[in-house]
Amino acid sequence: MKKLLSALVFSTIAFGAQAQKDGLPSDDIRDLATNQTVSFKDIIADDSVNVISFWATWCVPCKAEIKNIAKKLDGWKKEVPFRYITISIDEARAENMARTFAANQGWTFPHYIDVKADLKRALNFQSVPYTLIIGKGGKIAGSHIGYQEGNEDKVFEEVKELVKK
């Protein structure tokens, strides 16, 4: 009886953790570095806070935001562990431009593209830059539209609070 109860409690906890992540869209996106197609929810780490910057090659504020985050990322990650990911919303015809831009910038963090805009529609946002913060367990914890110099520091403050929880 004790083993059955333990198994039931474990399966309930495991199901609860998976149920949170199951609330995320499963739309396919393409890894710009490897050209592999993956499900959005599969790139989200359950045991970590995830920050996702949605951007486009034509979006000047997007590029400024990612550049400023990239400059601070190593220092931030020494302070608290979290994952940083970018996803381009460019159409298929601009995929090579997005890939080339990321390579020229020396991005070492994961970068993807949503060529069919399925993920963008599923998350229901209209413009970029769009920042999505996903907490541990895969639950959406916050989002921001637009970018002004210094906004990245506000996002990092939110990340630090989520990591503490």
pLDDT digits (tens, 9 = 90+) for 84-111: 999 999 999 999 999 999 999 999 999 9
- So what's the architecture of 2-164 in CATH? 3-Layer(aba) Sandwich (3.40)
Look up residue 43 and give its two tokens. 């790139």
Distance (Å, whole) CA 125 – CA 161: 24
pTM of the predicted protein model: 0.86
What is the band of 4 on the pLDDT scale with cuts at 50, 70, 90?
A: very low
Look up residue 86 and give its two tokens. 């970018």
Tell me the CA distances in angstroms from 55 to 1, 20, 21, 164, one per residue in order: 53, 26, 23, 28
Distance (Å, whole) CA 33 – CA 102: 9
Share of the chain above pLDDT 90, in %: 85
Residue 165 confidence (pLDDT): 82
Distance (Å, whole) CA 19 – CA 14: 9
For residues 51 and 76, the answer to whether their CB atoms sit within 8 Å is: no
For residues 44 and 26, the answer to whether their CB atoms sit within 8 Å is: no
Residue 8 confidence (pLDDT): 33
Question: Average pLDDT over the chain, rounded to whole?
Answer: 89
Sign of CA dihedral 97, 61, 41, 159: positive
| Residue 1 one-letter amino acid | M
**Chain segment 35-55, per-residue pLDDT in tens:** 999 999 999 999 999 999 999
DSSP state of 150: T
Residue 6 confidence (pLDDT): 37
